[in-house]
């Protein structure tokens, strides 16, 4: 016989000597249990809790008043969504004096005001990551075939405050017709592609480039949009073809001369209309656009 017999047991024995004791629960445990029950009842009374048909108990805690996205003031029972809305309202209200100050200050003075620039950096960063980073990447460095780099000092549509503000407000859509709208044949396209590559010191066939020069400034009609110096015309958003910056023709990714000529020839043959910068005028407030303008011009850098 085991010594279990001397204790309070339920009388069940397993494996000859395993018995179930009937000791009372420890008091600390019991009280913790009662407290959780009391807590849950208090919680049911204060907060939304039980489903009731198609509705639920709303709780008797404080109501929350907030302004929704449509500008309507709403008062409702306590809930996480309303709480978040209220906190957002407060954050927006706290930022409003700053946005107003930016709106009332000329661009050049904003950039010299350390306090305002601090606001531009943090608010601009949030606005940029929410609205722009999907295409221009988080740091604004852009991506070939998607959206231009906003960090460098090369600008397709102009890099002054006013031009950047205009770009963001009304959007941009640079269009190049196939073959620039001309009737040049495949051989001429290859020649003018060699000329374009020669402008930025890329590997090219010198003889073909010479013929391409004549086409560029003649029947290819390229100079009409890209300018006689091929540096691009900001009003048209035509690319500067003399720098090492490429947005659509994947010249940097092409391993050799043949592939580079092919990459440029493809753009010339097919033309371009992929590059579409959306207009933010209806979606962001003028103050938000102004903050973004200064953010792009001064914080990302490269503004003119």
d(CA 201, CA 242): 8
**Which residues are near ligand HEC by CB under 6 A?**
131-132, 134-136, 147-148, 150, 155-157, 164, 167-168, 172-177, 179-182, 192, 196, 220-222, 224-226, 236-239, 241, 246-249, 264, 267-268, 272, 275-278, 280, 292, 296
Which CB atom, from 59 or from 140, has the smaller least distance to ligand HEC? 140
Nearer to ligand HEC by Cβ, of 74 and 173: the residue is: 173
Q: Which is nearer to ligand HEC, 64 or 249 (CB)?
A: 249
Nearer to ligand HEC, 19 or 284 (CB): 284
At closest approach, how far in Å is the CB of 139 from ligand HEC?
13
Which distant-in-sequence residues (6+ apart) come within 8 Å of 20 by Cβ?
Answer: 9, 10, 12
Residue 239 CB partners (closer than 8 Å, separation 6+): 156, 174, 226, 232, 247, 248
Closer CB to ligand HEC, residue 59 or residue 237? 237
Q: Cα 160–165–170 angle (5° rounding)?
A: 130
CB of residue 165 vs ligand HEC: minimum separation in angstroms? 9
CB 178 within 8 A of CB 172: no
State the nearest-atom distance from the C-beta of 91 to ligand HEC, in Å.
20
Rounded Cα gap, residues 268 and 222, in angstroms: 10
Count of C-beta atoms within a 10 Å radius of residue 261? 24
Q: How far is the CB of 101 from ligand HEC (least distance, A)?
A: 20
């Amino acid at each position: 016989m085991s010594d279990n017999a001397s204790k309070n047991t339920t009388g069940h024995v397993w494996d000859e000597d395993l018995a179930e004791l009937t000791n009372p629960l420890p008091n600390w445990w019991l009280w913790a249990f009662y407290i959780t029950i009391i807590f849950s009842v208090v919680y049911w009374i204060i907060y939304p809790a039980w489903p009731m048909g198609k509705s639920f108990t709303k709780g008797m805690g404080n109501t929350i008043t907030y302004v929704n996205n449509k500008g309507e003031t709403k008062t409702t029972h306590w809930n996480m969504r309303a709480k978040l809305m209220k906190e957002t309202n407060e954050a927006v209200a706290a930022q409003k004096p700053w946005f107003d100050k930016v709106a009332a200050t000329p661009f050049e003075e904003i950039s010299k005001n350390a306090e305002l620039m601090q606001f531009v950096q943090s608010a601009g960063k949030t606005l940029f990551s929410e609205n722009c980073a999907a295409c221009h990447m988080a740091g604004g460095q852009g991506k070939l075939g998607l959206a231009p780099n906003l960090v460098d000092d090369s600008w397709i549509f102009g890099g002054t405050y006013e031009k950047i503000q205009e770009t963001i407000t009304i959007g941009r859509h640079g269009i190049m017709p196939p073959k620039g709208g001309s009737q040049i044949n495949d051989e001429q396209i290859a020649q003018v592609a060699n000329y374009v590559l020669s402008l930025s010191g890329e590997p090219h066939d010198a003889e073909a480039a010479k013929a391409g020069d004549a086409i560029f400034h003649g029947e290819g009609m390229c100079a009409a949009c890209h300018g006689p110096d091929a540096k691009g015309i900001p009003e048209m958003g035509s690319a500067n073809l003399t720098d090492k910056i490429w947005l659509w023709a994947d010249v940097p990714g092409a391993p050799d001369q043949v592939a580079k000529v092919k990459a440029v020839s493809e753009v010339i043959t097919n033309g371009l209309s992929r590059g579409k910068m959306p207009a933010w005028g209806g979606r962001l407030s003028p103050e938000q656009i102004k903050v973004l303008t200064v953010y792009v011009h001064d914080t990302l850098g490269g503004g003119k």
